[in-house]
C-alpha cells in the first residue's frame, strides 16, 4: 500500500481527528472490576446496537440479535470458531439421498422447561419457517428447503427441492423454539430455549442479562452470568474498555487501535472478517435505476484513500466483489473501479445530470452499527460533492434503519451496509441480491439466473463458473458502491479467554476467565 496519497481532499483527513468524543463511561464501582467479575464468573459484553427481537427466526443480525439468541437457543448444527460445522442439537448427520439429509438428535437435548428437543420439535420449526404467512426474515435463507419428516423420536430428515451444498451452513443459524411454548407466548419479546443460558432480564433496546442453566444438557459454559450492554457510541465502547466497565467488545474502529494497544489491561485481536462493506444502491427507483449513475459513483470514490486514512490500512479496497475471499465460489481476477472523477463526471453528463440538473442523493447510515460507518459515509459524500453530486446524510438508529429497509421497503437512494453469510458460500450471500430477495433492491435476470442455476448443481466446476458469471455481472451493473471488507478489531479485558471470530458471532459460551475462582 506504499505510495497512497494522503487523504487530504478538502479536509477529508480531518474527519476522524475532528470528532468530539462523548464523555467517558463512569469508572467501575468498587467490587466491579474485571478481576472481581472473573471471581464471580461474570462478564459484561458491549454491543453496538440494541437487540431488535427475541425471535431467532425473525432476524439475520449476527453481531447483535443472533449473538444473544445463540446463547439461549440450540440449532441442529453450529459454526465453530474455526468456521467448520460442528454438532449442536444434532450429534451426527449425513445425506442419505441427493435431496434428503438425516439428522440424529442428542438423546438429552431439552428446553429449559424440561420438554425434550425431539424430531417433532424440528418438524414444527421447519413448518413455521416455511409458512409464508409468518413472513419471517430467516425464510429466504432456505430457498431449497421443502419440509422436515420425522423418522423416529430422535431422528429427522430434511428434504430439499434440489441438491443444496449450503444447507448445513444455513442450519447453523436456524434456532429452534419449543412449539407449545411458542403458541402461548410472544417469541418477539419472550424467550425459552434449549441453549446453555436463560434470559433473566430484558427490555427492548436495553441491557440483557443471562444466567447459565444448571440443567443444560450440553457442556456447561465456564462463565455463569452474562450482561450484554447496549453501547451504540464507539467512544463509549472504548471508554468502557479502558475504564474496566466492559470486558469484551467486537468490531472496534481502527482509529482507536493505538489507544487500545497502549493499555496493558486490554488484549487486542485483529483479523480479517467475512463481511463486506459497501453502499447499497436502490436500483428500483430514482437516479440509481440508471447504470451510468451507479458506475459514476463507483468511479468518484477513492477507496484506497479511505482505507488508508480512516481504516489505518487494516483492509484493502474491494476488487469489485460482493464477498471476501473466505467464501467458496469466490471469483479470482476481478478488479475494482479505479478512482477516476473525470470519467464519473462524463457518465453523469451522459445520464443527463450537470449544470441546470444537479444530482441530489440521500444516503443513510445506521448510527453506531458498523465500524467507522459514519466516517466512511462522510468521506463518500465529500468525494461525490467533488463531482457535483449533492448528498444528504441521514444517521438513524439501527432498528429504524432495518424497519425502513425490510419492513417498509423504503430504502433511500443509497445506504451504508455490511453483509456476510454464515455458510461462507457464494450461493448464500448472492442470495441477498437475487431478484426476489427483500434485501436486494436490484432485479437483474442475468445475475439471478446464474445464481439460481449454480445453487442447483452439485458439480463444483460448473457451480464456480456460474458464480463467476454472477460476480462479473454484479461488477458490471454495480448494484452497490464497492468499498472494502469490514475490519475485524476486537478487545477484551486481560485474563478473559476468547478467540475472536471473523464471522461476527460473540458467544459467551466460548469465553472463560483465566484463573477464575467459583
What confidence score (pLDDT) does residue 17 get?
Answer: 35
Residue-wise pLDDT tens digits, 75-113: 999 999 888 899 999 999 999 999 999 999 999 999 999
Residue-wise pLDDT tens digits, 19-60: 333 333 434 455 689 999 999 999 999 998 889 899 999 998
Determine the Cα–Cα distance for residues 147 and 74; give it in Å rounded to an integer. Answer: 19
What confidence score (pLDDT) does residue 61 get?
Answer: 85
Dihedrals φ, ψ of 358, to 5°? -70, 150
Distance between first and last Cα of the chain: 49
pLDDT band for position 319 (50/70/90)?
very high
CB within 8 A of 188, min separation 6: which ones?
53, 54, 55, 58
Angle at 427 between CA 422 and CA 432, to 5 degrees: 75
Q: Which domains, and CATH codes, for the chain? A: 276-485 (3.10.105.10)
Adjacent-strand bridge partners of 248? 45, 492
Higher pLDDT, 292 or 422: 292
Higher pLDDT, 246 or 487: 246
Residue-wise pLDDT tens digits, 422-466: 778 898 899 999 999 999 999 999 999 999 999 878 788 999 999
Mean pLDDT along residues 353-367: 93
Percent of the chain with pLDDT over 90: 73
What confidence score (pLDDT) does residue 113 get?
Answer: 97
CB within 8 A of 184, min separation 6: which ones?
none
**Residue ranges of the alpha helices (H) in 11-97?**
14-17, 34-39, 67-69
**pTM here?**
0.76
pLDDT at 341 over 70: yes
Residue-wise pLDDT tens digits, 253-275: 898 988 999 999 999 998 888 89
**Burial class, 135, CB count within 10 angstroms (exposed 0-12 / middle 13-18 / buried 19+):** exposed
Mean pLDDT along residues 328-335: 93
What confidence score (pLDDT) does residue 14 get?
Answer: 39
pLDDT band for position 405 (50/70/90)?
very high
Determine the Cα–Cα distance for residues 132 and 254; give it in Å rounded to an integer. Answer: 42
Give the chain's mean pLDDT: 90
Mean pLDDT along residues 490-513: 93
pLDDT band for position 328 (50/70/90)?
confident
Grid coordinates standing for 404?
Answer: 425502513
Residue-wise pLDDT tens digits, 190-211: 999 999 999 999 988 789 999 9
Provide the b/e sequence for 182-199 (b: ≥16 CB within 10 Å).
beeeebeeebbbbbbbbb
What confidence score (pLDDT) does residue 8 get?
Answer: 38
pLDDT at 10 over 90: no
Residue 116: how many CA atoms within 13 Å on its side-chain side? 10
pLDDT at 292 over 90: yes
Determine the Cα–Cα distance for residues 253 and 264; give it in Å rounded to an integer. Answer: 19
Given a contact cutoff of 8 angstroms between Cβ atoms, the answer to whether 72 and 57 are in contact is no
pLDDT at 4 over 80: no
What confidence score (pLDDT) does residue 445 get?
Answer: 97
Mean pLDDT along residues 58-70: 91
pLDDT band for position 350 (50/70/90)?
very high
Give the β-pairing of 100-105 and 90-97.
Answer: antiparallel
Determine the Cα–Cα distance for residues 489 and 496; give it in Å rounded to an integer. Answer: 16
Dihedrals φ, ψ of 196, to 5°? -75, -15
What confidence score (pLDDT) does residue 31 get?
Answer: 61
Among the ranges given (154-158, 242-246, 382-386, 487-491), the one the predictor scored with the smallest mean pLDDT: 487-491
The full 3-state SS of 130-192, as one line of letters, equals HCHHHCCCCHHHCCCEEEEEEEECCEEEEEECCCCCCHHHHHCCCECCCHHHHHHCCCCCCCC
Amino acid at each position: 500500500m506504499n505510495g497512497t496519497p494522503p487523504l487530504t481532499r478538502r479536509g477529508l483527513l480531518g474527519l476522524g481527528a475532528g470528532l468530539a468524543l462523548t464523555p467517558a463511561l463512569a469508572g467501575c464501582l468498587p467490587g466491579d472490576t474485571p478481576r472481581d467479575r472473573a471471581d464471580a464468573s461474570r462478564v459484561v459484553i458491549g454491543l453496538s446496537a440494541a437487540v431488535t427481537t427475541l425471535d431467532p427466526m425473525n432476524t439475520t443480525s449476527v453481531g447483535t440479535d443472533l449473538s444473544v439468541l445463540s446463547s439461549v437457543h440450540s440449532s441442529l448444527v453450529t459454526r465453530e470458531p474455526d468456521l467448520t460445522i460442528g454438532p449442536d442439537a444434532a450429534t451426527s448427520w449425513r445425506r442419505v439421498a441427493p435431496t434428503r439429509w438425516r439428522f440424529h438428535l442428542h438423546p438429552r437435548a431439552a428446553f429449559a422447561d424440561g420438554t425434550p428437543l425431539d424430531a417433532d420439535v424440528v418438524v414444527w420449526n421447519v413448518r413455521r419457517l416455511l409458512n409464508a404467512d409468518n413472513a419471517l426474515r430467516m425464510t429466504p435463507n432456505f430457498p431449497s428447503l421443502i419440509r422436515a419428516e420425522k423418522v423416529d423420536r430422535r431422528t429427522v430428515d430434511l428434504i430439499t427441492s434440489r441438491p443444496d451444498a449450503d444447507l448445513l451452513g444455513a442450519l447453523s443459524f436456524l434456532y429452534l423454539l419449543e412449539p407449545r411454548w411458542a403458541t402461548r407466548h410472544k417469541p418477539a419479546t419472550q424467550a425459552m430455549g434449549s441453549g446453555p443460558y436463560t434470559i433473566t432480564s430484558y427490555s427492548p433496546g436495553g441491557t440483557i442479562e443471562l444466567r447459565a442453566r444448571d440443567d443444560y444438557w450440553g457442556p456447561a459454559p465456564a462463565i455463569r452470568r452474562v450482561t450484554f450492554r447496549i453501547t451504540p457510541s464507539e467512544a463509549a465502547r472504548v471508554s468502557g474498555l479502558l475504564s474496566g466497565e466492559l470486558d469484551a467488545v467486537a468490531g472496534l474502529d481502527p482509529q482507536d487501535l493505538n489507544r487500545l494497544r497502549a493499555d496493558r489491561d486490554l488484549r487486542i485481536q485483529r483479523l480479517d472478517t467475512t463481511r463486506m462493506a459497501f453502499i447499497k444502491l436502490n436500483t428500483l427507483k430514482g437516479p440509481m435505476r440508471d447504470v451510468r449513475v451507479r458506475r459514476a459513483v463507483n468511479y468518484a470514490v477513492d477507496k484506497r484513500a479511505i482505507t488508508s486514512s480512516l481504516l489505518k490500512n487494516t483492509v484493502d479496497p474491494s476488487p469489485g466483489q460482493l464477498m471476501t475471499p473466505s467464501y467458496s465460489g469466490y471469483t479470482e481476477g476481478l478488479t475494482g473501479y479505479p478512482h477516476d472523477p473525470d470519467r464519473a463526471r462524463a457518465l453523469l453528463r451522459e445520464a443527463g445530470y450537470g449544470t441546470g440538473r444537479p444530482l441530489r442523493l440521500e444516503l443513510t447510515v445506521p448510527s453506531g452499527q458498523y465500524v467507522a460507518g459514519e466516517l466512511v459515509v462522510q468521506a463518500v459524500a465529500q468525494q461525490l460533492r467533488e463531482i457535483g453530486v449533492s448528498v444528504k446524510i441521514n444517521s438513524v438508529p439501527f432498528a429504524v434503519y432495518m424497519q425502513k429497509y425490510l419492513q417498509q421497503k423504503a430504502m433511500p437512494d443509497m445506504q451504508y451496509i455490511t453483509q456476510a453469510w454464515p455458510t461462507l458460500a457464494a450461493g448464500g450471500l448472492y442470495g441477498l441480491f437475487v431478484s426476489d430477495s427483500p434485501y436486494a433492491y436490484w432485479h437483474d435476470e442475468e445475475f439471478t439466473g446464474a445464481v439460481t442455476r449454480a445453487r442447483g448443481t452439485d458439480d463444483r466446476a460448473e457451480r464456480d463458473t456460474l458464480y463467476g458469471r454472477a460476480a462479473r455481472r454484479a461488477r458490471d451493473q454495480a448494484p452497490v458502491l464497492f468499498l472494502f471488507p469490514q475490519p475485524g478489531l476486537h478487545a477484551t479485558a486481560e485474563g478473559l479467554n476468547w478467540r475472536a471470530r471473523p464471522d461476527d458471532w460473540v458467544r459467551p459460551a466460548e469465553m472463560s476467565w483465566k484463573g477464575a475462582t467459583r
